[in-house]
Structure 1
Amino acid sequence: MRSLIDFLIKYSKWFVCLFYVLVSCILLFETNPYQHYVFLTSANRVSAECLSFSANVTSYFHLHDINEDLQLRNASLEMEVTQLRRQLRRLREDLKEESLRSDSIAPQFDFQLAHVISNSVSRTHNYITIEKGSLDSIEPEMGVVDQNGVVGIVNVVGRNSARVISLLNPKMRLSCKVKGRSDFGSLVWDCKNPHEALLEEMPRHERFQPGDTIVTSGYSAVFPEGIPVGTILSYENAHNNNFYTLRIKLFTDFTTLSTVRVLRNKLGSELSEISAGEEDE
């Protein structure tokens, strides 16, 4: 207590001066309209800038959540577009046969988002690891895509993560076709450029143009028909001269993968049983 009193006595002149300054400011701003207006304007400006800064900081820390939500919405819309196209095509076919059935147009695929936690592009056999596994209902032979096109196929699943065979892996072969046509071939990576691949066994009677879009054929239980893959860069005769080999520029940029969608075929188990029965015969 004594120290506090000594402190107040020691600096009493400063406290008195501060008191007079404070009283002077109050009298100045309260009794003079112009000074009062200037004070309020300045105070409001400072307050507005502080609030704006606080709002910007808060918005910045919410950007990650906003981005996640936008990616999920975008992925959902893309899958809906793909499913609607399939439904429309089936409706047209069924209408021609006058046998429209509601269960024939049920969406065959659904998906879930997953983050990429490791990815290689410079090896001969490249793989991708995602942060979802069996606890998230991930299974082998599930297709993986991003917002641009095909990424790969799940081949090893752990409890909390899974490994994906990248499209940049010669072990993976993907059935593809030119958009709007029926003839299909096999897409494979030639271990050269991570932005390009080869579409082999395309019939010579077809005519191809650089820029034509390549999509999945749908002739597997892994990917639905029509998933974008890339565009034709060039083509050349295959070794046996009966087919063309097309060089494809891939839509997916494997060097910047961050979020992917894992596809689940709702009819996968049924199709596997049918395939197993055919092999037994």
Structure 2
Amino acid sequence: MHNLSEFLQKYHHWFIFLLLEVVSMVLLFQFNGYQGSVWFTSANAVSGKVYEANAAVNQFFSLAKVNEQLTQRNVFLEQRIQQLSEQLEKATGDTTIASKPIMAAIAGNRVIPARVISNSIDKQDNFITLDKGAADGIKPDMGVVGGTGIVGIVYQTSRNYSIVIPVLSSHSRISCKIQGRGYFGYLHWDGKSPRHAYVDDIPRHAHFRLYDKIVTSGYSSVFPPGILIGKIIHVYNSPDGLAYRCMVELSTDFGNLRNVCVVDDKIMRERLEVQRAAEDSIKNKKE
């Protein structure tokens, strides 16, 4: 207390000066029209800048929620377009009048929107981490898709997070086919470009063209048929010369992946459970 008293006594003239300055400013701007208008205009300009900066900050931190809402809305709209397209085809009898959107293949399935919180594209075995887990209904072996095509397969889950094995992994082998041609093979990644993968074992008698689309075949127990994977951009001969090897430009940009949807296909999961039960039964008999 004694120190405070000494401080006030030592610098009391400065406090008096500041007080008089404040009083003079108030009198100046309150009783002089021109000075008052200048102060009012300047104060409004400063407060406007402050409010603008505050709004920009709030908008930035709300982008994640906006992206999630947009993903859910896009999936809903794409499913709705598919339903309307089917009704239009039935009414007109013309199956070419409207093309299926990318996400139409998951119409009728429950989709769980999720956000990518960790991702890599420069390793031999990449992983993706999602901000949704078992508490949200996600289980291992569920398919994961983005707004432009396939992403990967759920590998492990905790209560609030999921690990996905993407197409960009040496452990990824996804059954696929050439859209409209019927020829199928398995998609795999060679560990190099994150924009390209390969489909092997396309038979030599197969008829297809460059830029034909590659989609999921539906033969696996994970993805329904027709989900876009990419397009053929180059064709090679297999090492034994008995088949073709196709380079595929992936439709999903894994370097810019933010929002995805996990596909809860109950029919596919039931099929997977039956297959696993059969495999375990055969294994037990052999033992």
Q: Please report the TM-score for the alignment, with normalisation by the length of structure 2.
A: 0.71
Partner deviation per Cα, 1:24-69 (whole Å, 9 max, x = no partner): 5455444443333323222322232232233333333333333333
CA distance in 2, matches of 1:118, 1:64: 14
Alignment correspondent of 1:40:
40
Alignment correspondent of 2:183:
183
Preserved contact between residue 148 and residue 251 of structure 2 (Cα < 8 Å): yes
The amino acid that maps onto 2:195 is H
Alignment correspondent of 2:86:
88
CA distance in 1, matches of 2:125, 2:26: 77
CA distance in 2, matches of 1:33, 1:120: 64
SS of 2:220's equivalent in the other structure is coil
| Long gaps (5+) in structure 1 | 97-105
Relative to structure 1, is the Cα distance of residues 248 and 40 closer, same or farther in structure 2, using a 3 angstrom cutoff? same
1:234 deviation in Å? 0.5
Partner deviation per Cα, 1:170-214 (whole Å, 9 max, x = no partner): 443222233333333322223443322111232444444333322
| Long gaps (5+) in structure 2 | 95-105, 282-287
Alignment correspondent of 1:223:
223
CA distance in 1, matches of 2:18, 2:125: 79
CA distance in 1, matches of 2:32, 2:88: 81
SS of 1:267's equivalent in the other structure is helix
Relative to structure 1, is the Cα distance of residues 112 and 203 closer, same or farther in structure 2, using a 3 angstrom cutoff? same
CA distance in 1, matches of 2:246, 2:212: 11
Alignment correspondent of 2:69:
69
The amino acid that maps onto 2:247 is R
CA distance in 1, matches of 2:126, 2:67: 28
Preserved contact between residue 68 and residue 114 of structure 2 (Cα < 8 Å): no
SS of 1:198's equivalent in the other structure is strand
CA distance in 1, matches of 2:19, 2:65: 49
Preserved contact between residue 156 and residue 163 of structure 1 (Cα < 8 Å): yes
Percent of pairs identical after alignment?
A: 39
Alignment correspondent of 1:59:
59
Preserved contact between residue 221 and residue 269 of structure 2 (Cα < 8 Å): no
CA distance in 2, matches of 1:208, 1:74: 31
Q: How does 1:1-281 map to 2 (within 5 A)?
A: 7=8, 11=12, 15=16, 18-19=19-20, 24-78=24-78, 80-81=80-81, 84=83, 88=86, 92=90, 107-116=107-116, 118-272=118-272
CA distance in 2, matches of 1:124, 1:53: 43
The amino acid that maps onto 2:62 is H
Preserved contact between residue 108 and residue 267 of structure 1 (Cα < 8 Å): no
Aligned residues: 268
Question: Bigger CA drift: 146-155 or 201-210?
Answer: 201-210
Preserved contact between residue 216 and residue 227 of structure 2 (Cα < 8 Å): yes
1:123 deviation in Å? 4.4
CA distance in 2, matches of 1:225, 1:116: 24
The amino acid that maps onto 1:164 is V
1:267 deviation in Å? 1.8
Preserved contact between residue 135 and residue 160 of structure 1 (Cα < 8 Å): yes
Preserved contact between residue 221 and residue 265 of structure 1 (Cα < 8 Å): no
Of structures 1 and 2, the larger Rg is shown by: 1
Q: Please report the TM-score for the alignment, with normalisation by the length of structure 1.
A: 0.72
1:143 deviation in Å? 0.8
Relative to structure 1, is the Cα distance of residues 52 and 223 closer, same or farther in structure 2, using a 3 angstrom cutoff? same
Preserved contact between residue 112 and residue 262 of structure 1 (Cα < 8 Å): yes
Alignment correspondent of 1:100:
none
